[in-house]
Amino acid sequence: MDCGFNWEYNSLINELTQGMEHAKQLRASCSSDKIQEMHFHMQMILSSFENSLSILKWTGSVTQTPLLIAPPVSTGAPESSISVDENPKIDDHQDFRYVSKKRKQMPTWSEQVRVSAENGFEGPTDDGYSWRKYGQKDILGAKYPRSYYRCTYRAMQNCWATKQVQRSDDDPVLFEITYKGSHTCNQDFNSAITQPKSPEKREFKKQANNPRMIQSNQMLANLQANLRVNTNELDKNETTCSFPFSPTFSGFVDENLHFQISQVDDNLVGGYSPSFVSPTTPESNYFSLPSCQMNGSRRIHNLHHSESDLPDLFSANTSSTSSPIIGLEFPLEHVEFDPNFPFDNSEFFR
DNA sequence: CCAATTTGACCTAA
DNA sequence: TTAGGTCAAATTGG
């Protein structure tokens, strides 16, 4: 059993274990009056079932896939481990540097996130995952540049999840976040090692004395009553969209966090998982164990985000991405709520 | 010093 | 040919 299959097996065990735990807690909640808690546990149980089924479906499909070929290990690029190309070129390093057909087949889904001014733009500062910005591009016809992020643990844990962030032309408080590929990393594990100060906090410190920022934040706070986090347009029409792990929960209000997770309607859940795509990158089926492990010599940063893109600060609202795949205890517990949320909103007030 | 971000160059797909 | 996506050297910042 190679590392990849091990991963699916462990994920499956993990999912089922979580499901059982939540079922137990649900049973306990039933004896009390905790409706919200019951709702939450029910969602988690459903999520566990869906994820488990997805893992099984995917594992089954992969074992029937003749294209799962061993790549040249030296490249280390994702495209090298599996290819949907009928004539995969596994010798040419150049062919693996840029987007391949396999990458294009990665599960893709979008979210529209509207800036919430509740609590003066306070909010979760991340979506539970660590992202590193690797590019920004001016897009033809778009007022704002598009930012490109990939998982921080790409090299460390061979996680090839990426996301693109595009601010809406018409509505500057609305951001379209496109996720490509699901996380195969265990960010819980990383976060357990250290919890460094988030870049948002560093950024805020930097900007705290900036009068313009103060004014902007005050003005933005005035929008408070009218704005809400919005994740309900998750690109239902995109047929290629497939989401390996179902949204974890929705509509859950955590009174301790003073934060409302946006509603995700039931149709959306159903529309997310029919065509399952690998919960892990195919290369994780090939690479041996070390690629799945942490590099202990490196300093591990967790829950950090770009300082330049607002949606990062709110993406933890999106139930679809808020839970780490492995080791999920309770995603909200890992969300940092930064009251000093830095937000370069100067563009609004030019 | 090290890690994250920025940004111009490069590559691919359409 | 060109727009979009990615790389990687330079820069920034803790």
- Strand C CB-contacts below 7 Å: A 77, 97-99, 103, 134-142, 146, 148, 150, 162, 164, 180, 197, 202-203, 205-206
CA of A77 vs C1' of C7, distance in Å?
Answer: 13
Q: Is the pLDDT of residue A107 over 70?
A: yes
CA of A282 vs C1' of B6, distance in Å?
Answer: 31
Across all strands, nucleotide nearest A145 (CA–C1'): C4
- The answer for A258, left when phi > 0, alpha when psi is -120 to 50, beta otherwise, is left
A3 or A156: which carries more pLDDT confidence? A156
| Structure token digits, residue A127 | 């979506």
Q: Is the pLDDT of residue A210 over 70?
A: no
Q: What is the tens place of the pLDDT at every residue in A184-206? A: 777 665 554 433 333 333 333 33
Q: What is the tens place of the pLDDT at every residue in A25-79? A: 777 777 666 677 777 777 667 666 666 665 565 555 444 433 322 333 333 333 3
Q: What is the tens place of the pLDDT at every residue in A263-286? A: 222 222 222 222 222 233 322 222
- Strand B CB-contacts below 7 Å: A 94-95, 97-101, 104, 131-137, 152, 199, 298-299, 301, 304-308
Q: Is the pLDDT of residue A252 over 70?
A: no
Summary mean pLDDT of chain A: 50
**Rounded Cα–Cα distance for residues A137 and A140 (Å):** 9
Q: Which amino acid is residue A85, in one-letter code?
A: D
pLDDT in the model for residue A146: 95
Location of structure tokens 């780490």: A324
pLDDT in the model for residue A267: 28
Across all strands, nucleotide nearest A307 (CA–C1'): B5
Across all strands, nucleotide nearest A199 (CA–C1'): B4
pLDDT in the model for residue A71: 31
Q: What is the tens place of the pLDDT at every residue in A151-168? A: 998 888 888 889 999 998
Q: Name residues whose C-beta falls within 8 Å of residue A233's C-beta, 6 or more positions apart in sequence.
A: A110, A111, A112
| Structure token digits, residue A335 | 């969300």
Nearest residue to B13 (CA, C1')? A99
pLDDT in the model for residue A56: 61
Most confident of A16-25, A60-69, A235-244, A295-304: A16-25
- Closest by Cα among A256, A233, A166, A213 to A347: A213
Question: The dihedral of CA A238, A230, A181, A50: what is its sign?
Answer: negative
CA of A286 vs C1' of C6, distance in Å?
Answer: 24
Q: Is the pLDDT of residue A93 over 80?
A: no
Nearest residue to C13 (CA, C1')? A202
Which bases of chain C come closer than 7 Å to a protein CB?
Answer: 2-8, 13-14
Question: The dihedral of CA A290, A323, A281, A78: what is its sign?
Answer: negative
Q: Are A74 and A52 in contact (CB under 8 A)?
A: no
CA of A146 vs C1' of B7, distance in Å?
Answer: 13
Percent of chain A whose pLDDT exceeds 70:
26
pLDDT in the model for residue A53: 62
**Rounded Cα–Cα distance for residues A35 and A149 (Å):** 38
Across all strands, nucleotide nearest A135 (CA–C1'): C6
Q: What is the tens place of the pLDDT at every residue in A111-164? A: 888 765 443 333 333 577 889 999 999 999 999 999 999 999 888 888 888 999
Most confident of A12-26, A214-228, A236-250: A12-26
Across all strands, nucleotide nearest A166 (CA–C1'): C4
Q: Are A168 and A175 in contact (CB under 8 A)?
A: yes
